[in-house]
Amino acid sequence: MDTDNLRLFVRAAERLNISAAGRELGLAPAVASARLAKLEQELGVELLRRTTRKVSLSLEGSDFLPYAREILAQADAARAALGGAGAGPKGRLRFAAPSSFAQLHIMSILPDFHALYPDLTLDLRLSDTRFDAIEGSFDLALRSAPLADSSLKGRKLSDDTRILCASPGYLAAHGTPDAASGLKGHRLISWSNLEPRELISSVGETAILDPKDMICRTIVDDGDAQREATVAGSGLSINSLWSVAHDIEAGRLVHVLPEWRLNDRSVLWLVYPRSNVLTPKTRIFMDFLIERLGNRSDW
């Protein structure tokens, strides 16, 4: 099976555009279409459905895609194992991460990564909305949650400690809670999920933060917006320590109830589909992120 044709199929499947995939590989649209047709003839199935308006994956194409990626990953790994000139990481790596985290901590270190690996292109998909690492066809993704999905493998980047904070102005106007029970009646900048959350103290005591006992006038789905609303004095909010550590240090925010944190056991994981081979380019980027951002003391 021709790996060049497999690579073309994977690119076309990810972009749902045969011409664009062909251009990335230096192929004219007609040549790209002919190569895909040859691959389909060889396999005896239609991998991509073409109409005059769009390209979509067939059921067989969707089933075949992870295997095509694995074949290419094995081929790339084999070439890298031989060493020598040209064995460095090349191509495109698709990385998904929460927008808030990427803007604060990843974008500033990208120049250092590109200086080390100039032939590797990072295709970044940044959103605070929950994503599916498999459906999204990502090589690597940053996820903040307990790693309970059996279809994924991963390495820990850092703990994701979540704390309560507010602006000095808000606390001056509304008072500073000195116990978990004192949260009732305060304004809360909340995410769309308004379910009660458990808090745990440094000595193991637990308490419930229930939005129904608070005043929720601002509901957001973006981490940066939540932090900015908190800095502006709209109320208390639950934030990851990595998101607000610099604001607390600068005095723009105050850590409220510093002996308490959210009891959700969240961890920042670098994950990839279990069906994927951990390619050299994915391992290199993963190692780079862990070296630069792993287990920072201020988080």
Q: What is the pLDDT of residues 111-155, one digit of tens each?
A: 999 999 998 999 998 887 665 544 456 889 998 866 555 567 888
Query: What pLDDT shows up at residue 151?
Result: 62
Confidence of residue 200 (pLDDT cuts 50, 70, 90): very high
Higher pLDDT, 136 or 53: 53
Could you tell me which of 238, 247, 225 has the C-alpha nearest to residue 183?
Answer: 238
Distance, in Å, from the CA atom of 141 to the CA atom of 281, rounded to the nearest integer, reads 14
pLDDT above 80 for 178: yes
Res 78 pLDDT > 80: no
pLDDT for res 148:
59
pLDDT in tens, 84-107: 445 567 788 889 998 889 999 999
Q: Which range, 37-41, 151-155, 264-268, has the best average confidence (pLDDT)?
A: 37-41
In terms of DSSP bridges, do strands 91-97 and 120-126 run parallel, antiparallel, or are they unpaired? parallel
Q: What are the sequence ranges of the domains in the chain?
A: 1-87, 90-160+266-299, 162-262
CATH number 1.10.1840.10 given to 90-160+266-299? no
Q: Do domains 90-160+266-299 and 162-262 have the same CATH topology?
A: yes
Residues 6 or more apart whose CB falls under 8 angstroms from that of 296 comprise: 158, 242
Fold of 1-87: Arc Repressor Mutant, subunit A (1.10.10)
What pLDDT does 85 receive? 47
Q: Between residues 76 and 4, which one has the greater pLDDT?
A: 4
Tokens of 198: 């458990």
Number of alpha carbons in the 13 Å side-chain half-sphere of residue 202: 4
- What is the per-residue pLDDT for 213? 93
Residue with tokens 């440094």: 202
Q: Does the 162-262 domain belong in CATH 3.40.190.290?
A: yes
pLDDT surpasses 70 at 81: no
% of residues, the chain, pLDDT over 90: 62
Residue with tokens 């690119």: 11
- Greatest pairwise CA separation for the chain in angstroms: 72
80-86 average pLDDT score? 58
Give residue 116's pLDDT.
92
CB atoms under 10 Å from CB of 80, counted, come to 19
Across the chain, mean pLDDT equals 88
Q: Can you give the pLDDT at residue 281?
A: 86
Instruction: Sheet with 206-209: list strands edge to edge.
Output: 206-209, 197-201, 260-262
pLDDT at 195 over 90: no
Closest CA to 207 of 257, 254, 265: 257
**pLDDT for 208-238, tens place per residue?**
999 999 999 999 888 889 999 999 999 999 9
**Does 275 have pLDDT greater than 80?**
no
3-state SS assignment for residue 244 = helix
* Residue 31 pLDDT level (bands cut at 50, 70, 90): very high
State residue 248's pLDDT score: 97
Q: How confident is the model at residue 69 (pLDDT cuts 50, 70, 90)?
A: confident
The answer to whether 90 and 117 have CB atoms below 8 angstroms apart is no
Distance CA(288)–CA(148), nearest Å, equals 24
Question: Would you tell me how many other CB atoms lie within 10 Å of the CB of residue 281?
Answer: 25
Return the pLDDT at 229.
96
| Phi/psi of residue 133, nearest 5 degrees | -65, -25
Give the chain's length.
Answer: 299
Secondary structure letter of residue 16 according to DSSP: T
Which ranges of the chain does DSSP label H, i.e. alpha helix? 3-15, 18-24, 29-43, 59-82, 99-101, 110-116, 168-174, 223-231, 241-250, 280-293
CB 100: neighbour CB atoms within 10 A? 21
